[in-house]
Amino acid sequence: MKTLLPDKIDALFINCHVATMADNALSIIDKGALAVTGTTISWVGKEKNLPENFKTRIPKIIDCSKGWILPGFVDCHTHLVWAGSRSSEFEMRLNGASYEEISKNGGGILSTVKATRNASTDDLFILASKRVEALLEQGITTLEIKSGYGLNLETELKILEVIRRLDENFPLHVDATFLGAHALPPEYQHNPDGYIDLVTQTMLPEVKAQGIATAVDVFCEHIGFTLPQTKKVFETAKNLGLNIKLHAEQLSNSNGAALASEFNALSCDHLEYLSLSGAKKMAQHTVAAVLLPGAFYFLKETQKPPVEIFRNLKIPMAVSTDLNPGSSPVHSMTLILNMACMLFDMTCEEALLGATINGAKALGLEQSKGSIETGKDADLVVWDIDTPEDLCYLAGLTPVDVVMIKGNIHHTT
Ligand code: DI6
Ligand code: FE
């Protein structure tokens, strides 16, 4: 993505190292510099190669004190609009109850649905804002948020409205995904197909009409929805021109990834129980694999996603927080990076690609987000670290110095 030298520069980072994450690697530039014009990256390279006239006519020069610049993190899978707490379920699980048992007994997702239905739009916005602030402060500059704790038209729209307000009120880019088929609501306990009819005939057309979500997701699982039900939702989504994503093969192999691939999904997410044939379908349709080590850790799962198969088939691996109250109440991308390495045997480079360019691919945003290349959005983080690997290795530390989103600085320490 080469462009001509910019004739105007608004900000120049100097005295930095850059991990651009271009070309599917860290792609390090030592002793680098980076120029921003308006909302985009206009020049990146070695500082010694900076064109002569750059330093003299630049309003803002940011000395990075030998820190590292990486693209802002892309958190491509969260469920962060919810009310209520599931800490008592956490305690139940520590006493031996399983996630599935709790879910079958009316707890789990449905307990969050009850609290979320009872919360006002303003309450939900305040609760979600705190979570978004936490992510923003840790260098997340692009965020996907799913609905799915409403399970009726009114509350699903309320959640999507909150997501829209988050996008409007925070500097980071927020994508909304409609996850109406997340769990069976109490009103349809004995009529799952009736609920799928509600999702496809009423909810999806309204979501589309309001332009309030860009993608559709389904929880395809034995405690979620069957393959034929998932297919119905995808057919409607496709007809409406919405992107497709899937919670697939998280707790068992339902062959959801193969189905989603046939619908040219942007991503399949979780994938612990993915089969080789499912992976091959994903590769054939260039579907990204979104790996969620927070849920694996929190549910004490033992079946790892087939990372070696993803490598061999060159399937892009994204990693994400899956921030939600039940299976991944994890508010930290650096912790997720460490988990991706320790639990899924990913390398630091793979984990970092997962939290940047491959996260962008999972959202269909790779043309503008996820790597440092001229012409892309100036979504950058300056880190006070010695090497990019420190972000995976120094578990729990988040040494952010500067967060820039679309050319504006939003956080400095
Ligand atoms: N899979 C998950 O891990 C989350 N949703 C899903 O479909 C869990 C959501 C929850 O337990 O509240
Ligand atoms: Fe999820």
| pLDDT level of residue 40 (50, 70, 90 thresholds) | very high
| pLDDT level of residue 1 (50, 70, 90 thresholds) | very low
Q: In ligand 1, which atom is closest to the CA atom of 299?
A: 3
Report the DSSP beta bridge partners of residue 268: 246, 289
What angle do the packed helices 109-118 and 153-169 form, to 10 degrees? 80
Q: In ligand 1, which atom is closest to the CA atom of 328?
A: 3
Amino acid at site 197: D
Ordered alpha helix ranges (H), 119-169 = 121-137, 153-169
* Nearest CA residue ID for atom 10, ligand 1: 326
Amino acid at site 12: L
Distance CA 85, CA 246 (A): 25
Pocket residues for ligand 1 (CB within 6 Å)? 79, 108-109, 112, 182, 219, 247, 250, 295, 322, 324-327
Read off the pLDDT of residues 137-154 as tens digits, 9 standing for 90 and up.
Answer: 999 999 999 999 999 999
Please report which ligand is nearest the Cα atom of 224: 1
Say whether pLDDT at 2 is over 80: no
CB atoms within 10 A of CB 56: 6
Residue 172 DSSP label: S
Tell me, rounded to whole angstroms, the distance of Cα 251 from its chain centroid.
20
Please report which ligand is nearest the Cα atom of 144: 2
Task: Write down the pLDDT at residue 55.
Answer: 66
Say whether pLDDT at 328 is over 70: yes
Say whether pLDDT at 79 is over 60: yes
Contacting residues for 241 by C-beta, under 8 A, at least 6 apart: 208
Least confident range of 102-111, 326-335, 383-392: 102-111
Average pLDDT score over residue span 317-325: 98
* Nearest CA residue ID for atom 2, ligand 1: 327
Asked if residues 237 and 214 have their Cβ atoms less than 8 Å apart, the reply is: no
Instruction: State the distance from the centre of ligand 2 to the C-alpha of 180, rounded, in angstroms.
Output: 13
Distance CA 104, CA 355 (A): 33
| pLDDT level of residue 59 (50, 70, 90 thresholds) | confident
Contacting residues for 103 by C-beta, under 8 A, at least 6 apart: 109, 110, 183, 223
Q: Rounded to 5 degrees, what are φ and ψ at 374?
A: -60, 140
Structure tokens at 45: 């390279």
| Mean pLDDT of the residues in the chain | 95
Report the DSSP beta bridge partners of residue 175: 144
Say whether pLDDT at 348 is over 90: yes
Say whether pLDDT at 385 is over 70: yes
Cα distances from 337 to residues 15, 56, 86, 277, in angstroms, run 26, 39, 24, 28
Instruction: State the distance from the centre of ligand 2 to the C-alpha of 379, rounded, in angstroms.
Output: 25
Asked if residues 291 and 247 have their Cβ atoms less than 8 Å apart, the reply is: no
Task: Write down the pLDDT at residue 8.
Answer: 83
Distance CA 245, CA 147 (A): 13
Residue 366 DSSP label: T
Task: Write down the pLDDT at residue 95.
Answer: 94
Amino acid at site 388: P
Contacting residues for 387 by C-beta, under 8 A, at least 6 apart: 68
CA gyration radius for the chain? 21
Handedness of CA 295, 356, 354, 342 (dihedral sign): negative
Q: In ligand 1, which atom is closest to the CA atom of 109?
A: 12
Report the DSSP beta bridge partners of residue 381: 70, 403
Q: Rounded to 5 degrees, what are φ and ψ at 297?
A: -65, -50
Mutation test of ligand 1: which of 81, 88, 109 has the most ligand atoms closer than 8 Å to its C-beta?
Answer: 109
Say whether pLDDT at 129 is over 50: yes
Say whether pLDDT at 4 is over 70: no
* Nearest CA residue ID for atom 6, ligand 1: 219
Which residues have CB less than 5 Å away from ligand 2 (the ion)? 322
Cα distances from 308 to residues 189, 247, 357, in angstroms, run 39, 20, 19
Structure tokens at 105: 């007994």
Instruction: State the distance from the centre of ligand 2 to the C-alpha of 390, rounded, in angstroms.
Output: 27
Distance CA 348, CA 314 (A): 17
Distance CA 363, CA 143 (A): 9
Average pLDDT score over residue span 106-135: 96
Q: In ligand 1, which atom is closest to the CA atom of 112?
A: 12
